[in-house]
Amino acid sequence: MSPQEVLVRRIRRALAGRRTREVSMFGGLSFMVDGALAVSAGGEGGLLVRIDPGRRDELTARPGARPAAMRNGREMGERWLQVDPIGLGEDADLRFWIDVGLAARPG
């Protein structure tokens, strides 16, 4: 099983009971919760997370977190972070990042 498949299974378990829709985008499998994108599982097992820009400094200080970049290297903007697999090792770590993504959804 690929790192992305493992991460997708973990995200599905963490979001069980929530109204979700899975959509292929950003080179991975994105999870829409109640109609808004929260997180996306990347091909290498990393997680793209929607964030509140006011928490950017705090969140980038966490292990494996960095500003998200597009394939051309350009930063995606202040509302997105990439969390490398090193920052997702424990279920509590993944749950933290999912909660960050859920809290940052519009609406």
Which pLDDT belongs to residue 86?
A: 97
* pLDDT at res. 42: 92
Asked if 18 contacts 33 with a C-beta cutoff of 8 angstroms, the reply is yes
Annotate 31-47 with DSSP letters as a single string. EEETTEEEEEEETTS-E
Task: Please indicate whether residue 20 or residue 71 has the higher confidence score (pLDDT).
Answer: 20
Q: According to the model, what pLDDT value does residue 18 have?
A: 94
CATH number assigned to the domain covering 3-103: 3.90.1150.30
pLDDT digits (tens, 9 = 90+) for 42-74: 988 999 999 999 999 999 999 999 999 987 888
Compute the distance between CA of residue 68 and CA of residue 39 in angstroms, rounded to an integer.
12
Give 62: exposed, middle or buried? Use CB within 10 Å, 0-12, 13-18, 19+: middle
**What pLDDT is attached to residue 27?**
82
pTM of the model: 0.93
